[in-house]
Structure 1
Amino acid sequence: MVGVYVMLGSVITTTVAQALPQALPGCPDKCGNLTIPYPFGIGANCHRAGFPIVCNTSTEPPTALWANIIVTAFSLDEAEMQVLQYIARDCYDKQGNNTINNDPWLRLPPPFTISDTKNKFNCCWL
């Protein structure tokens, strides 16, 4: 798995501009050592619609999940969320036949996008 940067855009920018607290009053603001900023939140009535975080406390340390995607970091200044995602592979034998193909493509609803500048992984095997 590798880190993937999800661009949160105006949703987070607006939140920062309004100087909202890290979490809504009475709501948990941490999952393990990860601070969960609003509009995300843990539990009912603690997040904006579409931004629920589930804190899996059966792992050590606890794991933050957004739509079953592991969240590793938030940056309100950059309007980004970092998540873990499997690396795609598309391999061929000497005859050009596809031997391995997996499509772990991360699909996000608008207005979210994947960063096209921070998600670069280049590797060559000779």
Structure 2
Amino acid sequence: MVLRYCFLGVLMPLSLLIAQAAAITEGPQLALPNCPDHCGNLIIPYPFGVKENCYLNSSFFINCTRDESREPQMIPYWGNTRIIVSYISLEEAEPQRFQSIAKDCYNKQGNLTYRYDPSLSLRPPFTISHAKNKFFAVGCDAIAL
């Protein structure tokens, strides 16, 4: 009789530990129910989403598209732009994205032959971080301000 109670005393806590471990490995649900929570390697937490009724509003739409010219995997574009989202952090309340590289090309005489000057504009509720961005200038006569 005592052995039966000892067995129950060991089995009950063990089953609770197994249930807790299963809950931890599942983790919290990041997306709304029945909504994809990944695009390629990017985790897509709510309020962002990849299909209708899965994001808060159109500002939070991630267009998950296969782009064979870049890579044979799904690419997370911001809405209907060609801006690639690289990371989304709910803890820091920020999405991160890649910015195109501006270029000026000159010939041997020093005349400008090609210029690419991308712009960056964001709609509310998003702003540009003054503390977390990195700005570089590389090349002859290049200045970063």
Code of the aligned partner of 2:90: L
Q: Hey, what does 1:108 align to over in structure 2?
A: 122
Code of the aligned partner of 2:75: T
Judging by fraction of residues, say which structure has more strand: 1
Q: Deviations over 1:73-123 (max 9, x none)?
A: 111121111111112346789xx9766543311111122111112212233
Judging by fraction of residues, say which structure has more helix: 2
Corresponding residue SS for 1:123: coil
Using CA pairs under 8 Å that are at least 6 residues apart, name the structure with larger relative contact order, 1 or 2.
Answer: 1
Q: Hey, what does 1:61 align to over in structure 2?
A: 73
Q: Hey, what does 1:27 align to over in structure 2?
A: 35
Structure 2: 5+ residue stretches without partners: 1-27, 141-145
Report the Cα distance in structure 1 between the residues aligned to 2:106 and 2:73, rounded to whole angstroms.
Answer: 38
Report the Cα distance in structure 2 between the residues aligned to 1:90 and 1:113, rounded to whole angstroms.
Answer: 27
Q: Hey, what does 2:4 align to over in structure 1?
A: none
Q: Deviations over 1:16-70 (max 9, x none)?
A: xxxx841110011111121101111011111111211111134433101113211
Q: Hey, what does 2:131 align to over in structure 1?
A: 117
Q: Hey, what does 1:43 align to over in structure 2?
A: 51
Q: 53-62 vs 40-49, which deviates more?
A: 53-62
Question: Under a length normalisation based on structure 2, what TM-score does the superposition of the two structures give?
Answer: 0.61
Matched, 1:72 2:90: no
Corresponding residue SS for 2:54: coil
RMSD over equivalenced CA pairs, Å: 2.7
Runs in 1 of length 4+ with deviation above 6 angstroms? none
Question: Under a length normalisation based on structure 1, what TM-score does the superposition of the two structures give?
Answer: 0.68
Select the structure of larger CA radius of gyration: 2
Query: How many residue pairs align between the two structures?
Result: 107
